[in-house]
Each structure stands twice: as C-alpha cells, then as structure tokens.
Amino acid sequence: MAATTAGNLSTIQHYLGAKTEYLLAFSTPRIPRERLHLPGTDSVDRLYSVTDRNNQVLVNLQRIFQHGPLDGSGYLSILPVDQGVEHSAAASFAKNPDYFDPENIVKLAMEGGCNAVASTFGVLGAVARTYAHKIPFIVKINHNELLTYPNRFDQILFGTVKEALHMGAAAVGATIYFGSEESSRQIVEVSHAFALAHELGMATVLWCYLRNRAFKLDEGYGFSADLTSHANYLGATIQADIVKQKLPENNGGYKALNNGSTSYGKYDERMYTELSSNHPIDLCRNQVANCFMGRAGLINSGGASVYNDFADAITTAVINKRAGGAGLMSGRKIFERPMQDGISLLNAIQDVYLSSEVNVP
C-alpha cells in the first residue's frame, strides 16, 4: 500500500501561485461532501462490490486501484496515449519520436508510477506479452481517425472487446461525442461493448466528450459544467466504471442554447444557484454529482500541452480532488516532453492525491 503521508505541500503551493488560497481555502461547496461517495482505501469494496459487476470486474478494478504509488489511496493517475490516431501520429510524436515505438509509451507509464496505461489495440498489442502482467492495460476500442477528407468528427470501432480480453486488458475504454449527430449510434455501440466487457470481467472507462458546433457560441459551452455533467450522467447510465471528462471552464450551456426561438434540453435555475457557484471546485463537483454522486469515479483530462504544464496540471489535480473526483488522466502534457520531465510531472500530480493537506471540503 502506498504511503498516505502528506505530499510536498510547498511544491503544490508553488505551482498554484496566486490561486493557492482561492483553491486550497475554499470550504463552502453548494453540494456538501456528506452527499458524495468519495474515493478511499476501500473504493472497490464500498462503491463497486455492491453493483451488478461480477467478481472478475472487481479483481480488475482492484488491480488498477492498487497499482503504483497511489495504491491504497482510492485515486488514479493514468497515462492515455491514443493521440497517434486521434491527432495523427506525426503531429503527436514530432517532439519525441521515441513514442512512435509503443514500448516507450508503456515504459513511461510504468516509470511514472501510473495506475494504468490507456492506448490503442495496436500500441498495447505490440508489447502485450512483455507488459500486460506488469501494468494494467486499458484498451481504447474506438477512435476519431482524422484522415477522412474533409475531416469528420466521429468515433468508430477499431477492434472488439474479446480482442482486448485476450490481450490481458484490465479494462476497455471508449469515447462518445455526446451532442454530435453520430452520438446515438455511438451510445448504442459503446453500451453493448461495455455490457460485454463486464460480462467477460473487464472494467470500463468512458471519455464523455462533447462535440457540436452549436456548443461553441459565445464563451464556448463545450466545457460548461451543466453540459459536461449531463454527459457524465449518460456515461454512468451505460455503466462506465470510470468517467473521463474535461475540467469545466464555465456554466450555463443549457441557458445559452435556449435563447430566442430555440429550444434545447431541459434545465432548472437551481442547477446554477443551489447546486453550483462560479468557483471551479463547485463546477467540477457538479460533474462528480452527475457521476452518481461519485459512485462512478470522475477523472479529469490533463488537457493540451502548454507553456506552464506543471502549474496547469497541479491546478487541475487540486480542483478534481477537492471536488470529490478520483484522479487525473494526463497524456499530452506528459509525452510531449523529455521522458524524465514527464515522469516528474506524473509524480507531481500524484503528490496532490497523496497530500493530506489537499482535502475535500
């Protein structure tokens, strides 16, 4: 079991900078922690063993939660590298050509202390006999291939659940572009795939992303708390054990899309007053609440690589943890830098989740 002593609080404060008090002293969330099912040492027993998941699913979830320095904490640090398909391999790996080789992706996850590595059938299958028993595999079963001209944004299946099982995967992962014209088909495909994965004993991880040009009006509501939260609820509904979502940047997507003569979805003003505020921890807590109050673990995306990756990743981790989330899945910030720097960033993220000073209000 990993140590549960405080991580390096001074380092966390250093990267938070002027946001330190704003994020670490926040103590009045609209949804109180007592309503949440929080991550903990007994997460699998308390949150998953009471479900309809079979024993082998529980074994694989335990494998994931027990791997790496976050073992025993209930939190997850996962390396996702599916960008070779999603963003084109050359564009993704130009900074570090070593990552064209799948073995280096798995080595990065292992040396960085990740709970699991998430990637494509091709990447993980290429080195499965060497590494599937050494670090939990999350096999991503669908992708946006980004080569069709003109580009379209659709998630299509690249393999089968049984292939992932035979590879030794602990879990399968998938993306649904909620809000897109293709989302109905994707929901049906992924729900069937997840049902089979659970039957065969694997856990399920869903990237609950939004895609629709209409969401980009004004402030850009593709990252609004209300729309992303409902995507989370849909993900938990098709029995994702872990939900991946981008951190909210604003709120009021439903309100903005219901203007003039347009009618879209349903909302209640109390969503924005009684259940949330404009504080980022409150916005993220809405995402957690829509993951069945934390029964499905919420992990947030690390986002694109930027000039201040360490500060950005630590900020995201603090918001996710204090909101009641279950961890971080960071890819581009990690592999678009020298391997040792990527390992250092993974360890800095993990320190947030090991720090008793970064608590859940």
Q: Where are the beta strands (DSSP E) in the chain?
A: 76-81, 116-120, 137-140, 142-143, 156-157, 171-178, 203-210, 242-245, 297-301, 327-329
> What is the rounded CA–CA span in Å between residue 298 and residue 295?
9
Quote the CA–CA distance of 163 and 188 in Å, as a whole number.
Answer: 19
C-alpha separations of 300 from 9, 96, 101, 284 in Å: 21, 24, 26, 9
**Entry field: residues in the chain:** 361
Spatial separation of the C-alpha atoms in residues 191 and 174, rounded to whole Å:
10
Buried b vs exposed e over 149-160: b needs ≥16 C-beta within 10 Å?
A: eeeeebbeebbe
CA–CA gap between residue 226 and residue 209 (Å, rounded): 13
Q: What is the b/e burial string over 292-303, where b = at least 16 CB atoms within 10 angstroms of the residue's CB?
A: ebbbbbbbbbbb
Rounded to an integer, what is the distance from CA 5 to the centroid of its chain?
25
Query: Which residues are marked as active site?
Result: 244
- Residue 92 token pair: 């993704």
Which residue type occupies 321? K
